[in-house]
Amino acid sequence: MTLNSIADYELLIYNLQQTFPSILSSTIHIIHMGSSSGRMIGDLFFSDDIRLNIAELFDFDDGQLDILQYGYVVWQNTERLYWYDSQAHPNDPTLASTHPHHKHVPPDIKHNRIPAPDLHFSRPNLSFLITEVENLL
C-alpha cells in the first residue's frame, strides 16, 4: 500500500486486526494536528497478556510518510519486556549503524541498548513490531 496522506495511514492502522489476526483488540487512533500531520497513540492487545504501546508523531508534508518521533513499548502484564525509541544517543558508538533507531533490552533495560535496523522514519514500523510480538506468543 502506498501512503500519501493521513487518510492512507488511517486505513492501514484501522485495518490492522484484519491483517494480523493475532491482535485481539486495538485502541490505536490518530489525532489530526493539521491537514498533513498527526499523532498515533494507543495499544494493540495480544494473547498471553502482551500489549504493544504505540506513540508516533508524523507528517505527510511532502506527500510521503515522515515519522518524526516514536516510542514503541512491549509489555506483558505489568512487566516492560523491551522498547524502541528514536531518542538519539550520538555518544554510543554501538548504535551508530542504525542511528537513532535502537531497542532497549534487559538486563538494565534503561541503559542496555542495541541497534534497531528494522525501524525507519520513512515507512510504517507496525508490521515489523507486530511480527516481533507474534514471535513471542
| Interval 21-31: pLDDT, tens | 999 999 999 99
C-alpha to C-alpha distance for 107 and 46, rounded to whole angstroms: 24
CA–CA separation, 55 and 33 (whole Å): 14
What does the pLDDT average to over 2-30? 95
| Residue 1 pLDDT exceeds 80 | no
pTM score of the predicted model: 0.95
Position 71 scores a pLDDT of 98
| Other beta carbons within 10 Å of 83 | 18
pLDDT at 2 over 90: no
Instruction: Please state, rounded to an integer, the average pLDDT across all residues of the chain.
Output: 96
What would the mean pLDDT of 30-42 be, rounded to a whole number?
A: 96
